[in-house]
Amino acid sequence: MTASAPGGGSQGAPESDYEPEPRRWRALWVTLVAGFMSLLDVSIVAVALPTIQQELHASAAQVQWVVSGYALSFGLALVTAGRLGDALDRRRIFLLALSGFVLFSAACGAAPSIALLVAARLAQGLAAGFMAPQNSALIQQMFRGAERGRAFGFFGATVGISSAVGPLAGGLILALADGPQGWRWIFYINVPIGILAVLLGRRLLPRTRRSGRQHVDLPGVLLLGLGVLALMYPLVQAEAGGLTRLWWLFPAGAVLLVVFTLWQRRLLARGTQPLLDPRLFTEVRGYAVGAGVGTLYFIGFSGIWLVFALFYQHGLGFSPLRSALAVTPFAVGSACAAAVSGRLVDRLGRLLTVGGLTGVILGLGGTALLLRFAPLDIAPWLAAPALFLGGLGGGCVISPNITMTLRDVPVRMAGAAGGALQTGQRLGAAVGTAALPGLFYLVLGHRDDDYRGALFLALVAGIVGMAASLALAAFDWRRDRRARQPHRTCPDDVANSPVHARQS
């Protein structure tokens, strides 16, 4: 198969042949519901870990795999799943993955032992990883122009809100499903929603048009999978000493990714479609910067929710539900901003991301100061407006960044591009989830009762990651602004121009 230029069409159908799907908006909501479930399951389980550990008689290291195993298999599948969707049929892969997600969710809920629960979570994460890149690819396929911006706005809002409301949803389920077996409903809740999404998806989702035999780069799949595994495995094992025992996997993973890049370039030079086209990063406007902004943001963003849960539940003695309610203002602000940011991204562009990141940094910085120095009995109440401000900023980061990163990607590359973007986000989330709680426990190791100091240091570390994302976004905004400015000619150029000479 000959590799075509990045500006090509979808699966052999040029973009000029686009015909709007009459049911595209209803189909979008099916994919968003499925995506919300899969991303929610990254964080919703965290509040139930103490109960799971007690009921299944598990060790701390075993129960940690309930969270980290899901994140690991999720991240491993993304790029390969995206490329398979591009090469085969996005609708079919989405429905198969969603069906598997429902099945393995039921298996998680029914698991009689920690070993079977971890195995079911690994399979559930793999299914979620195959489903996730089809979401963004189907948006590329079904929408064009301003409609695509709106659709990506909804998609980005789903990503941001699902990450923020996971602890709240978990706390509510545990409060409603009272009793030692109540944690099982965190998984069972996916079953009826997922079955309904499968039935609606079979009816509403469009099929992918294919032309000719499609190539799948199996050596690339192996190289990328091993590279991502080497980078993520020490991070998901951080609480069990993975960073010190398995540090050698980081350089090994870097070497594997370099070899993967060289292999992709070789395939491209031979005229064969690679797993992840390198031209996405060099020739598609905004993709490389957007991937970097998203990865850096998730380093700071993902870890703060676990840190908040540790502070409120262990430091202040809050219940899981009360702990989740304490950070709900961020989720509310994120939902409000995300609802409108998708419509503003075409007008404001990267400036919207710059403003959003500034809002997140100010909001979380204010929260850190208030929870560190304000009277402890009223500090959570005083922090609510600052968290709301941070949420407003967060709603203007994830959604617009996804839109600007993917909107110029050719439809034929949409799955692999979406998978690579989310792989960066998963790696960033793994770094943040390992680093921020690690700093939190580091402070507590020196002073057992200094929960406020531990929270402050962890939040500052998260803000540093977001500041790096802000610096990259600001650089891109200034570059675009200079590129849009008209060329300024000097008086001598005007005087010597042919037009000026004729007028003279």
Phi, psi at 2, each rounded to 5°? -85, 135
Please give the angle made by the CA atoms of 424, 401 and 416, to the nearest 5 degrees. Answer: 45
How high is the pLDDT of residue 11?
42
Write the burial class of residue 212 (CB in 10 Å: 0-12 exposed, 13-18 middle, 19+ buried): exposed
Closest CA relative to residue 96, chosen from 137, 127, 139: 127
CB of 188 closer than 8 Å to CB of 106: yes
Task: Give dist(CA 442, CA 434) in Å, integer.
Answer: 12
Q: Which residue has the tokens 């998708």?
A: 342
What pLDDT is stored for residue 6 in this prediction? Answer: 52
Burial class (CB in 10 A: 0-12, 13-18, 19+), 458: buried
DSSP code string of 280-326: HHHTSTTHHHHHHHHHHHHHHHHHHHHHHHHIIIIIS---HHHHHHH
Q: What's the pLDDT at 449?
A: 78
In order, the DSSP letters of 159-228 are: HHHHHHHHHHHHHHHHHHS-STTGGGHHHHTHHHHHHHHHHHHHHHPPPPP--SPPP--HHHHHHHHHHH
For the chain, the distance separating the N- and C-terminal CA atoms, rounded to the nearest angstrom, is 59
Taking the C-alpha atoms of residue 75 and residue 241, their distance in angstroms, rounded to an integer, is 21
pTM for the full predicted model: 0.78
Longest dimension (CA), the chain: 93
**Tens of pLDDT, residue by residue, the chain (504 residues):** 444 445 443 344 445 556 677 788 989 999 999 888 888 887 788 777 778 888 888 877 778 788 878 888 888 888 888 888 877 888 899 999 999 999 999 999 999 999 999 999 999 999 998 998 888 888 888 887 778 777 877 887 787 677 667 777 887 888 887 777 888 998 999 999 999 999 999 988 887 665 445 667 788 888 888 888 888 888 777 666 777 888 888 899 899 989 988 988 888 888 877 887 888 888 888 888 889 998 899 888 878 887 888 888 888 888 777 888 888 898 888 878 877 877 787 788 888 999 999 999 999 999 999 999 999 889 889 999 999 999 999 888 887 888 888 878 887 777 778 888 888 887 888 788 778 887 888 888 777 778 898 899 999 999 999 999 999 999 988 887 777 666 554 444 444 444 444 443
